[in-house]
Amino acid sequence: MRPFRYHRPGTVAEAAQLIADLGEDGAILAGGTSLMTLARLGLAEPQHVVGLAGVPELCGIEGNSGDGITLGAMATLRQVETIPPVRRLAPGLAEAAHQVATVRIRNQATVGGTLVHADPSQDLPPMLMVYDAVARLTGPTRTREVPVAELFVDFFETVVDPDEILTSVHLPPASLGVIAGYLKFLPRTQDDYATISVAAGLTVVDGCIDTARIAVAGGGSTPQRCREAESALVGGGTDVAGLAAAADLVPEALDPVSDARGSGDYKREMARISTRRLLQRLVSESAT
Amino acid sequence: MSPALNPGAAPLSRRAVGDAVDRVRGTFTFAVDRRIEGTLHAVAVRSVAPHGRITSIDAADALAVPGVVAVIDGSHVAADDGISPWYGENRADQPVLAIGKVRYVGEPVALVIADSRATAEAAAAQVWVDIEELPHVVDPVLAGAPDAPQLHDEWPNNDSGTWTLVHGDAERAMATAAHVHTATYTSPAQNHVPMEPHSATGAWLPDGSLEVWTGTQSPYVVRQRLATMFRLDPDRVRVRGDSLGGAFGSKIDLRLEGLVALASRAVGAPVRMELRRDEVFQSASKHAATVTMTTGVDEDGLLVARIIDIVWNSGAYALQTPRSSRTGMIRSPGPYRIPHVLARSVARYTNTVPTGPFRGAMTGQVCWAHESAADEIAAELGVDPVEWRRRNLLRDGDAFATGDVMHEMHYVDLLTAVDDALTADAPPTSSTRTRTRRRGRGVAAVLKTTRTPTRSEAQVQVDAEGQVAVRTSAVEMGQGAAASLAEMAARRLDMPAEDVSVSWPDTGWTPFDQTTSSSRTTFATGLAVERAASDLRACIAQQVAQPWGITPDQVVHRDGCVSSPGDPAQRMTYADVVRSSGAGELVGTGRYETPPGAGRLDPETSQGNVSVHFHQGVVGVEVEVDTETGRVHVLRAHGATYAGRLIDAERARKQIEGGMLFGLGQAVMEETLYEAGQMINPNLSDYQIPSLLDVPLTSSTVLSDADPDAEPHGIGESTVPPMAPAVANAVHDAVGVRIRDLPVTAEKVLRALREKQADDRKN
Ligand SMILES: Cc1cc2nc3c(=O)[nH]c(=O)nc-3n(C[C@H](O)[C@H](O)[C@H](O)COP(=O)(O)OP(=O)(O)OC[C@H]3O[C@@H](n4cnc5c(N)ncnc54)[C@H](O)[C@@H]3O)c2cc1C
């Protein structure tokens, strides 16, 4: 690994300034679980690294049913998994966080790092899409908000500019009423990346599906919302046939790569099976 | 010339019993932790082409990097009269650095030596190697075709070993069989994945001798190879070892030792190397194999004849393949009584990572075939697969396929123990069984020979402080060998094992041992240690018997003391005995060697006495198969083996249960994948091994012989090979599909299920 200079700003403004000044030579470091791995493999060779660990504004998780939930960019995945407001108000997100790798990784990996790293098989992004989450970005001249569903461009590529810092992710209060869940399909080891995984959220009113969100990880170059399947659910009942028909629409939305975790065809089929199983589970949860 | 790494020092040693505490705390020292002051660091530049001619190597840019001391390549090696660069166990076909030609992606082409590993790594990326690519071949069956690319001019047809076994007349007997079954079973290349990567440090001493610290399983083999390579008397090469953080066969024979010796020779200072994980994947592999097995049985299901054809993929270089492919062939009939056997084995060079021994060496591939076939045959006969095995398993007095008349056979008892364990538990509760989850059980048995002929030597000594030390060249690699050797010595000396220290291997001090492999250490090294300890015991008795006016065999040994039976005043500690002897220490020596002629086989028919004893293992598993995803979940596994004289029950269980976990990965997920001649998953994300969360419920049975004079048998591998076929048999039991191509992945199971459903609908 090539040696680099390490900078430790204390505020977002300082960090933003540093990033702007360093330009292409600099890289932001959050938990380092991805960046340091890439550096060790020679796939990233930053000369300057700007560590965000000393920026208090970026830490912490806050939330209540009135305001929604705000996850600081430096909140760890272990915090997302365990902190009471998330578990109570957005249990689907805690469930997805619980599925990431091992406790050791979750203690280190952060919300901001997960989103900007943009591996299409990661667990948090599809679940954040289900909760209509919005990312807040701070650049040298402006701050902006981008829905997580619009954040990803390609393998390991997002709309976040190199001089922008992702400061937080917000789950709006309206999204917190859904019954959400996560199904990570792991045919090899239990701490693997997903072969395919599905996040879904439903609201059910009088036996009828009122809103639906379905997002899939591992199904292509980015995590994807499956809007056709969602539309097929809305307005329908909660019978198995209806859920299965919606799940049948998921594979068409996907273009997974064939790799050591399975062929593209297998992943598509597993997305269908997983979606149907997850929807059935959510419907049965909604009934209790 | 550089200073000695540790001039004149005696071998390092430590207390062996209870080292788990250090392992858990992270204070245990492994080979990769060894640092020697003043060392430089080498990193290999590796081939990116699977097959080609090296047209030029330009190191100018690398040499300009500050901190780089030297860059050497095959041309330097070839031009050096002091070096014989080609090595191998049976044929010297592998160059220490590629000379003129590369034969696999990852082959070392040059070495960059620098003042830090990071600098060497960075500079290695700036060595420009031009390769004129040649057509490549990765499939061993294709490598045998007349127009296949040829890897070695000296070894035509890519042949890296051809053998036959002829026992009776299998072809004729097959024609008389009431029922014949034939099928082909394949298993892929896999990696050993030792958690600790390979590392070594080499230095030339002022007197022109060579010293190497290395994480090796075979210090004396390494010594011999280095002596040959650098044209030295073996006594002028000192190989020093540490404990290993896992090896599983990947650290046998020459690995990094030739490279660090070469580098040190070039720069006149000690040089260290340590592999990255991708380099570990590029350094050694399990042999992929294709096994076609035709089996004939009579009306009662008794085996009549078996014909076996095996094609092994030896990778780019032969290393041990010319010998070990025969060993694998010999084990291929399985632990059964078969009057007529014909086996034909061919190993072929391909442009893939060179192969080597792999825990359960050359046996997993053939066990996969004969144990899958066993269940298929039983199913065709309508017989329970456990019952079919019971009828056919070897018993005392039966002849094995080599003609060996078997003794100490315990297969039927092992099978019964496994079957009982699987069926004794309460049946699984129905709440966990849904329409899409089916459970099934499967068993598998294995026979493995042990390295024959073989030789081990040992010393056990006590000094004037009463410190007892065992000196052997056996390697501790997590298997608990050191603790078992300490215990074996302690029992002979009637003293606590906790007070016995065990050496690290050091060919400068510790006596000869063949290798730490083949489950031979407790058996062969252990017997040598026991004999050395008995020799020391006799020596101690000799010292006191005469002054006490008794004969040596009247001397009583207890708790590290000797006494005279008639006279309580006559009592001495071992330390007292040494002090009164006037010698600094008393030393016992011992040696184990297989009997003359053992292991000698007919070159054409492979008939003879193949092994001094046979490793016997039986495994049973219960699986749950998800019929919509194909996911196979191994719920529990029971392993059983025969240990001969048992040294330590707890360590034996850990070998049996650990072996099953090692086998689990190979059964359901492990496979190195090649695309365009290049391994595409040389990392632990794409190539996975079971994690703690994947561990099923495990349990074990150890059968043993209570006779204190019985020989201990090796048990370190006996449950590895049967794991894969046991899982495949359980999958078949659960959902009726048969996978003949390892690993048994979810995707393959689902595909087979869908095909079966389509067939069932047709019928
Ligand atoms: C062994 C292992 C197993 C894994 N398994 C899983 C798994 O099962 N599921 C899963 O989802 N993920 C898995 N991961 C990936 C893991 O989730 C990511 O590595 C992690 O989330 C990245 O977070 P980090 O804080 O460590 O990011 P870093 O490595 O610090 O940064 C990652 C990238 O994001 C950028 N960045 C970080 N923070 C910001 C910010 N605030 N603003 C702008 N840019 C930023 C960095 O510059 C870098 O490019 C695994 C990783 C490892 C090492």
Q: What is the ipTM of this complex?
A: 0.96
- CA A190: distance to chain centroid? 19
B374 CA distance to ligand 1 middle (Å): 48
Report the CATH fold assignment for A5-51: 3.30.43
Count Cβ atoms below 10 Å from residue B417 Cβ, excluding itself: 21
Backbone angles phi, psi at B701, to 5 degrees: -125, 130
- The overall average pLDDT reported for chain B is 95
Nearest partner of B45 among B33, B31, B61, judged by Cα: B61
Which chain B residue lies closest to A267 (C-alpha atoms)?
A: B747
Indicate which of A186, A188, A268, A275 best probes the interface with B, i.e. most B CBs within 10 Å of its own CB.
Answer: A188
- Distance between CA B278 and CA B280 in Å, rounded? 5
- Distance between CA A110 and CA A88 in Å, rounded? 20
- Average pLDDT estimate for A155-181: 97
One-letter amino acid identity for B163? W
Overall CATH class of domain A56-174:
alpha beta
Count Cβ atoms below 10 Å from residue B24 Cβ, excluding itself: 9
B104 CA distance to ligand 1 middle (Å): 34
Tell me the pLDDT tens digit for each residue of B599-646: 999 999 999 999 999 999 999 999 999 999 999 999 999 999 999 999
Q: Which residue puts its alpha carbon closest to atom 38 of ligand 1?
A: A113
Whether residue A187 and residue B628 make contact (CB cut-off 8 A), yes or no, is no
Look up the CATH number of domain A178-286.
Answer: 3.30.390.50
Percent of chain B clearing pLDDT 90 (strictly above): 93
* Option in B631, B681, B690 nearest A260 (CB): B681
Structure token pair of residue A231: 């539309």
Among left, alpha and beta (phi > 0; psi -120 to 50; other), residue B129 is beta
Which chain A residue lies closest to B746 (C-alpha atoms)?
A: A187
One-letter amino acid identity for B85? P
Structure token pair of residue B596: 């003359």
- Distance between CA A208 and CA B97 in Å, rounded? 70
pLDDT, residue B433, reads 54
B632 CA distance to ligand 1 middle (Å): 30
Strand partners, B591: B457
- Average pLDDT estimate for A123-140: 97
- The overall average pLDDT reported for chain A is 96
Task: Give helix B481-493 / helix B526-548 axis angle, nearest 10°.
Answer: 20
Q: Measured at the alpha carbon of residue B757, what is the angle toward residues B756 and B760, in degrees to the nearest 5?
A: 85
Question: In whole angstroms, how far apart are CA A147 and each of A126, A134, B290?
Answer: 12, 4, 52
For strands A61-64 and A68-72, give the pairing: antiparallel
Whether residue B693 and residue A191 make contact (CB cut-off 8 A), yes or no, is yes
pLDDT, residue B427, reads 54
pLDDT, residue B15, reads 76
Strand partners, A184: A197
Structure token pair of residue B647: 């040294």
pLDDT, residue A36, reads 95
- Distance between CA B598 and CA A186 in Å, rounded? 49
Interface contact B425, partner A, CB < 8 A: no
One-letter amino acid identity for B66? P
Ligand 1 atom closest to Cα of residue A35: 29
- Distance between CA B124 and CA B497 in Å, rounded? 49
Low-confidence ranges of chain B (pLDDT < 50): 1-5, 7-8, 429-431
The answer, yes or no, to whether residue A40 has pLDDT greater than 90, is no
Cβ-contact B663, B620 below 8 angstroms: no
Residues of B in contact with A191 (CB under 8 A): 691, 693
- Distance between CA B707 and CA B154 in Å, rounded? 52
Delimiting residues of CATH 3.30.465.10 domain(s) in chain A: 56-174
Delimiting residues of CATH 3.30.43.10 domain(s) in chain A: 5-51
pLDDT, residue B4, reads 45
- Distance between CA A35 and CA A33 in Å, rounded? 6
Whether residue B691 and residue A191 make contact (CB cut-off 8 A), yes or no, is yes
pLDDT, residue B431, reads 46
Res. A152 pLDDT band, cuts 50 70 90: very high
Residue for token digits 């007292």?
A: B576
Percent of chain A clearing pLDDT 90 (strictly above): 95
Dihedral over alpha carbons B723, B728, B733, B734 (to 10 degrees): 100
Residues of A in contact with B743 (CB under 8 A): none
Task: Give helix B649-668 / helix B723-735 axis angle, nearest 10°.
Answer: 60
Q: Which residue puts its alpha carbon closest to atom 2 of ligand 1?
A: A101
Interface contact A37, partner B, CB < 8 A: no
CA distance B682 to chain A (A): 11
Q: Which domains does chain B have, with CATH numbers?
A: 34-134+194-247+250-281 (3.90.1170.50), 289-451+600-762 (3.30.365.10), 454-593 (3.30.365.10)
Residues of A in contact with B125 (CB under 8 A): 42
Q: Does A113 contact ligand 1 (Cβ within 6 A)?
A: yes
Interface contact A257, partner B, CB < 8 A: no
Q: Does A37 contact ligand 1 (Cβ within 6 A)?
A: yes
CA distance A190 to chain B (A): 6
Whether residue B629 and residue A270 make contact (CB cut-off 8 A), yes or no, is yes
Residues of A in contact with B122 (CB under 8 A): 2
Structure token pair of residue B445: 């048995």
pLDDT, residue B13, reads 74
Interface contact A188, partner B, CB < 8 A: yes
In chain B, which among 639-678 make CB contacts under 8 A with chain A?
668-669, 671, 673
Which chain A residue lies closest to B633 (C-alpha atoms)?
A: A187
Q: Does A165 contact ligand 1 (Cβ within 6 A)?
A: yes
In chain A, which among 69-108 make CB contacts under 8 A with chain B?
102
- Distance between CA A109 and CA A55 in Å, rounded? 16
